[in-house]
Amino acid sequence: MTNKNKKVVVRIAPSPTGALHVGTARTALFNYLFAKHYRGKFILRIEDTDKERSDKKWEKDILDGLRWLGIDWDGKIHHQSKRIKIYKKYLDKMLKEKKAFYCWHTKEELDKERGEQTKQKQAPRHICSYRNKDATKKNLKDAIIRFKNDTKDTLKFNDLIRDEIKFESENFGDFSIAKSLTEPLYNFAVVIDDYQMKVTHIIRGEDHIPNTPRQILLQQALGMPMPKYAHLPLILGSDKSKLSKRHGATSVTEYKKLGYLPDALFNFLAILGWRGKNDEKEILDRKEIIQEFLLEDVQKSGAIFDVEKLNWMNGEYIRKISLKELTQLSIPYLTEAGYLDGIKRNTLQKIQKIIALEQTRMKKLLDIVDTADFFFKQNDYDITKLLWKDMRKLELQNILFSLDDIIKNIDLKSSWDKENLEKIIMPEAEKLGDRGKMLWPLRYALSGKDKSPGPFEIMEIIGKEATIAVIKKAQNKIAKLQK
């Protein structure tokens, strides 16, 4: 598919008009993978000619997001806003060769024309009455520049994912290419850039398919070679409509904040519309993905962004990293939640113990804030939840009384760790005939949650004083219970 003698050059060309969307990140990733697979070049071009909508803050968000994901581009970043002179040169050339012309039709006139064409069920297009007129005498400020489209043939291109795509080129009419000599429009600037940057393969979302014939017509008019095209399937939400805000987070920054790991998101985005040699295998590291990535294996149909799957995958990656690294990654979330205020002594050791207990369950870093809150503060809970099976108030009161007694009597000279606590408390629980009678209320009082690590593990981490406070609180609450 690729000529071995010609170096593969691809590009990602985001507009800095919003945060880095996961769809843009996926397109960037596929370009990156393709370039890496064929040892080619991956260019980053910022399409910032729309002065009103472009913003440096969004450019920063895009660059930060790509860097965080580990999608590195080659060479310097190109800005379209710095290439205006280049576009002007080509616009001048096209005007001089009468391949482009000035059009003075107003928006109202064009809207009216489009309305009539739509009414007659024709494809809207503008065949301009100024196409053969000399522009020198009129006021150019009120005019835009259009491509003089004299083509009548069927325009075909072979898409590397979707096979042959055909268009009737006359359907595009005399389409606009610039608002003025210094304000090129999208399709025009893209053609010039891709040519000058020697782009060999254009890999982009299928929403760009309608732009492709216009760009090919411009390449033909300018005598530029046609790159190869590959249009990626759209990313869909769980309901199979186009992925949008109502499906949840859509920007890379949001996923980063929620505590997804870059390796996991990289892997997840890679299999969003692509499968490797073994399509059963979904967890693939960067090296494997690069080795196996072929455009031929990209699917044609829309790719569903399944957050549940991302959660599962992220959990798998969380379990792959070292406890030390996971602890470091989790600390900012615990700090943000205010859990680490005023905790000083043995903090890191304590946090590491907590993370060790939660690592098996975590799906994203932010989960630690909810699942492990009881290690840092006493949770409130429904007192009836402390009752094991058909247990009554009086029985629970007696059990809490014994627990209080046992725990207070644990000599701090013997070690306060889960093994020792189990050795002391378990025989007492066994004496009740059903050890759940003691272990359940103890665990529930400690965590205030239906699911949590076991009581001895929690007690080891929070310490004797905090455990006694937990029992005391349960005793106070149960006193208020009717029966």
Q: Report in angstroms how near the CB of residue 109 gets to Zn ion at its nearest.
A: 8
CB 272 within 8 A of CB 303: yes
Residues with Cβ within 8 Å of 437's Cβ and at least 6 positions away in sequence, in order, are 388, 391, 395, 399, 429
Neighbours of 482 (CB within 10 A): 4
Count of residues binding Zn ion (CB under 5 A)?
3
Q: Which is closer to Zn ion, CB of 135 or CB of 329?
A: 135
Q: Which stretch binds Zn ion (CB under 5 A): 40-48, 123-131, 306-314, 465-473?
A: 123-131
Read off the DSSP letter of residue 337.
T
Q: Which is closer to Zn ion, CB of 128 or CB of 221?
A: 128
Q: Which is closer to Zn ion, CB of 130 or CB of 416?
A: 130
Q: Which stretch binds Zn ion (CB under 5 A): 127-135, 283-291, 295-303, 373-381?
A: 127-135
Q: Report in angstroms how near the CB of residue 180 gets to Zn ion at its nearest.
A: 15
Q: Which is closer to Zn ion, CB of 83 or CB of 105?
A: 105
Q: Binding pattern to Zn ion, positions 132-171, x when CB under 5 A?
A: ----------------------------------------
Q: Which of 33, 35, 66, 128 binds Zn ion (CB under 5 A)?
A: 128
Token digits for 253?
């920054």
Q: Which of 85, 152, 245, 344 is catalytic?
A: 245
Please report whether residue 178 would count as binding Zn ion according to CB under 5 A. no
Burial class of residue 73, CB neighbours in 10 A (0-12, 13-18, 19+): buried
Q: Which of 37, 79, 99, 105 binds Zn ion (CB under 5 A)?
A: 105
Read off the DSSP letter of residue 257.
H
Token digits for 89?
């040169």
Token digits for 132?
């053969």
- H/E element, 307: helix 307-320
Cα distance between residue 195 and residue 192, in whole Å: 5
Known binder of ligand: residue 245? yes
Q: Report in angstroms how near the CB of residue 128 gets to Zn ion at its nearest.
A: 3
Q: Which stretch binds Zn ion (CB under 5 A): 51-59, 104-112, 201-209, 238-246?
A: 104-112
Q: Which stretch binds Zn ion (CB under 5 A): 90-98, 99-107, 178-186, 262-270?
A: 99-107
Q: Report in angstroms how near the CB of residue 244 gets to Zn ion at its nearest.
A: 35
Token digits for 162?
């979707």
Please report whether residue 103 would count as binding Zn ion according to CB under 5 A. yes
CB 123 within 8 A of CB 261: no
Q: Which is closer to Zn ion, CB of 113 or CB of 288?
A: 113
Q: Report in angstroms how near the CB of residue 184 gets to Zn ion at its nearest.
A: 18
Q: Report in angstroms how near the CB of residue 94 gets to Zn ion at its nearest.
A: 16
Give the long-range contacts of residues 104-109, CB within 8 A, separation 24 or more: 104/130, 104/138, 104/142, 104/143, 105/130
Q: Report in angstroms how near the CB of residue 103 gets to Zn ion at its nearest.
A: 3
CB 252 within 8 A of CB 227: no
Cα distance between residue 455 and residue 80, in whole Å: 61
Residues facing 10 on adjacent strands: 42
Token digits for 49?
């000619």
Q: Which is closer to Zn ion, CB of 101 or CB of 195?
A: 101
Residues with Cβ within 8 Å of 1's Cβ and at least 6 positions away in sequence, in order, are 160, 295, 296
Pairing relation of β-strands 176-180 and 144-147?
Answer: antiparallel
Q: Which is closer to Zn ion, CB of 32 or CB of 101?
A: 101
Burial class of residue 340, CB neighbours in 10 A (0-12, 13-18, 19+): middle
245 is catalytic: yes
CB 127 within 8 A of CB 113: no
Q: Report in angstroms how near the CB of residue 107 gets to Zn ion at its nearest.
A: 11
Instruction: Decide: helix, strand or coil at residue 344.
Output: coil
Cα distance between residue 472 and residue 469, in whole Å: 5
Residues with Cβ within 8 Å of 9's Cβ and at least 6 positions away in sequence, in order, are 35, 40, 41, 43, 197, 198, 199, 200, 201
Q: Which stretch binds Zn ion (CB under 5 A): 15-23, 100-108, 260-268, 374-382?
A: 100-108
Q: Which is closer to Zn ion, CB of 177 or CB of 261?
A: 177
Q: Binding pattern to Zn ion, positions 24-43, x when CB under 5 A?
A: --------------------
Q: Enumerate the known binding-site residues.
A: 245
Binding residues for Zn ion (CB under 5 A)? 103, 105, 128
Catalytic residue numbers read 245
Q: Enumerate the known binding-site residues for ATP.
A: 245
